């Protein structure tokens, strides 16, 4: 444009000047697209199946108007919690490789995208192979392809202090053999396998020649069942790991325990019985029961040979019938137990009996006649019927000791203690014993027709015993009754009842406390004398007296005491 200015003065003179204005075409500045970043690719391992998508965007010549997350590729199973936010959680992932895309739009409509790859690794199980690259977290390491066919990926670029975390599921608590596939070009590699901060094993890797020349190193570790946090911690670096493979050390199968039940007696004319077997297996279950007949007067009929309990018929002749129970556990191991059924004409027989074997190795030097053998213990089957056992008498009267299985030839015995609710018994049984051969006697029980004691307690002690004192505390008060025929019952002064080695005992704390056995002529022994007692001294003072016979009462006085502080009588 040219503009002219003309001017005229008051005299009529005129002049002019021109101005040129140039108007250029408008200049359009193009919109700059935003920039966006979704971070580094990552991987997670089942059971973890969610992660965070973290995006960031800026716009150099404006503002960000919107964000949009979407799946570009991968499995169809997933949930983007907040698709319109810069950052969001993605959940419900399954095994596979996902690519998620973040699209951002600026205020002028410009768009930009960035992609992130999320690898959802499969769950890791033990027993089984745990791939090294399927860690749940790590510090300082990287994943690379192995140089051999089929090796997959390995973890490498390891330096001292680096670590990888894993969360496999362990099927069974126990001991596992684990093999590590590793490579170390120059040797000196070392790492620790830890669980919950506890060291499981330390692995030293020798020189293998290169980072891709693999060897397998074994170890043994103990793992608990369930999700097991495991960490590989690099003590030193310069080595690679491909995988670790776990196998369970199967425990050695323990054999079952069979019990064919107690021996029992059948009185004629009855000809049937019931066998009640049981079995347990310490590390499994019982898979099979088999009853067999092992011998007897005639062959009976086993009604249900494949069950723990079975009826027996056809016991038509008197004598001893032997039956064996064989059990097999779920691991194939076998155990046996036998029981006897005695068919007898004796009307005094009990329902059950058990043999008692006196080990000849416990008999010193020479055979002993009419020796009082101590029989003690707690046996469930000796409870009374009211408490689930087999004995009928609450005083244990139907517990008898004989030389024969038929229960006819009775021995002499004394029952010092019997507890019907527990089956505890302390008994003294007079019998012959030998240092050469075992002695077998029989205990019978379970006869509801017996209501009185079936022996003479004093006959359990032969005439050589001048006095036998059990010092029983069954009633809570100390008793010093003499169990022999001599009736040298002691009178108690000051002493109190306590529990002791066999049933009860007497507590004596000074010279003012004692038991006086009297001066019956049977105590006036003039020859050698033997004292047997269980003692529990609280001190070993000189001349700590035990028992004595006074001069003015009996011939040949004597004293037994603890001598010279050495604890010897």
Domains present along the chain, CATH in parentheses: 35-121 (2.60.40.10), 125-248 (2.60.120.260), 257-344 (2.60.40.10), 352-460 (no CATH), 466-569 (no CATH)
pTM for this prediction: 0.48
More confident residue, 528 or 179: 179
**Count of helices and strands (H, E) across the chain:** 0, 46
Helices (H), 411-568: none
pLDDT (average), residues 321-337 = 95
User: If you average pLDDT over residues 281-292, what whole number do you get?
Assistant: 94
Query: pLDDT band for position 286 (50/70/90)?
Result: very high
Is it the case that residue 438 has pLDDT exceeding 90?
A: yes
What mean pLDDT value characterizes the chain?
A: 90
pLDDT at 569 over 80: no
Half-sphere exposure in the Cβ direction for 288 (13 Å, CA): 11
pLDDT at 295: 93
CA distance 532 to 515: 16
**Average of per-residue pLDDT across 357-385:** 93
40-92 confidence digits (pLDDT tens): 998 888 888 999 999 999 999 999 999 999 999 999 999 999 999 999 999 99
Structure tokens at 506: 């007497």
Q: What is the pLDDT of residue 265?
A: 83
- The DSSP element (H or E) to which 131 belongs, if any, is strand 128-131
Mean pLDDT of 409-416: 92
Which residues have CB under 8 Å from 418's CB, separation 6+? 395, 396, 399, 424, 425, 426
In residues, how long is the chain? 569
Q: Which of 153, 214, 149 is nearest to 180 (CA)?
A: 214
| Sequence-ordered list of residues with C-beta below 8 angstroms from that of 409, at least 6 positions apart, any chain | 402, 403
């Amino acid at each position: 444009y040219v503009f002219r200015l003309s001017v005229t003065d008051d005299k009529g003179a005129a002049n002019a000047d021109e101005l040129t204005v140039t108007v250029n075409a408008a200049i359009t500045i193009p919109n700059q697209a935003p920039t966006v970043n979704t971070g580094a690719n990552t991987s997670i391992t089942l059971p973890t199946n969610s992660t965070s998508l973290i995006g960031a965007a800026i716009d150099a010549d404006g503002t960000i108007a919107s964000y949009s997350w979407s799946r570009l590729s991968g499995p169809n199973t997933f949930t983007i919690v907040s698709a319109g936010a810069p950052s969001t959680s993605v959940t419900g992932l399954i095994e596979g490789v996902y690519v998620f895309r973040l699209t951002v739009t600026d205020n002028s409509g410009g768009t930009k995208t960035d992609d992130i790859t999320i690898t959802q690794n499969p769950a890791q199980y033990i027993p089984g192979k745990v791939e090294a690259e399927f860690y749940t977290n790590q510090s300082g390491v990287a994943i690379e392809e192995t140089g051999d066919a089929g090796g997959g990926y390995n973890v490498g670029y390891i330096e001292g202090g680096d670590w990888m975390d894993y969360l496999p599921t362990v099927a069974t608590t126990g001991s596992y053999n684990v093999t590590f596939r590793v490579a170390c070009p120059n040797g000196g590699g070392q790492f620790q396998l830890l669980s919950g901060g506890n060291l499981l094993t330390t692995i030293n890797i020798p020189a293998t020649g290169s980072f891709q020349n693999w060897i397998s190193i074994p170890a043994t570790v103990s793992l608990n069942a369930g999700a097991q946090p495991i960490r590989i911690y690099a003590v030193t670096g310069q080595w690679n790991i491909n995988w670790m493979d776990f196998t369970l050390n199967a425990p050695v199968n323990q054999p079952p325990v069979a019990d064919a039940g107690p021996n029992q007696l059948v009185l004629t004319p009855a000809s049937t019985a019931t066998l009640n077997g049981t079995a347990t297996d310490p590390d499994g279950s019982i898979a099979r029961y088999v009853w067999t007949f092992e011998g007897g007067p005639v062959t009976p009929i086993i009604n249900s040979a494949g069950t723990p309990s079975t009826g027996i018929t056809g016991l038509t002749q008197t004598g001893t019938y032997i039956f064996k129970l064989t059990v097999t556990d779920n691991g194939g191991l076998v155990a046996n137990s036998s029981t006897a059924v005695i068919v007898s004409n004796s009307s005094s027989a009990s329902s059950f009996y058990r043999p008692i074997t006196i080990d000849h190795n416990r008999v010193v030097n020479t055979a002993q006649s009419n020796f009082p053998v101590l029989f003690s213990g707690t046996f469930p089957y000796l409870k009374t019927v009211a408490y689930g056992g087999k004995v009928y008498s609450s005083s244990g009267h139907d517990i008898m000791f004989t030389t024969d299985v038929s229960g006819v030839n009775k021995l002499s015995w004394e029952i010092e203690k019997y507890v019907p609710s527990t089956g505890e018994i302390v008994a003294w049984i007079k019998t012959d014993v030998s240092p050469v051969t075992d002695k077998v006697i029989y205990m019978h029980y379970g006869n509801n027709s017996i209501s009185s004691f079936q022996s003479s307690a004093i006959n359990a002690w032969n005439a050589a015993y001048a006095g036998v004192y059990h010092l029983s505390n069954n009633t809570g008060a100390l008793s010093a009754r003499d169990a022999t025929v001599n009736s040298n019952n002691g009178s108690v002064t000051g002493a109190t009842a306590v529990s002791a080695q066999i049933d009860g005992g007497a507590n004596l704390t000074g010279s003012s406390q004692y038991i006086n056995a009297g001066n019956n002529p049977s105590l006036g022994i003039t020859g050698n004398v033997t004292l047997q007692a269980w003692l529990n001294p609280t001190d070993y003072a000189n001349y700590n007296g035990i028992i004595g016979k006074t001069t003015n009462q009996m011939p040949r006085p004597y004293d037994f005491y603890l001598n010279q502080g050495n604890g010897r009588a």
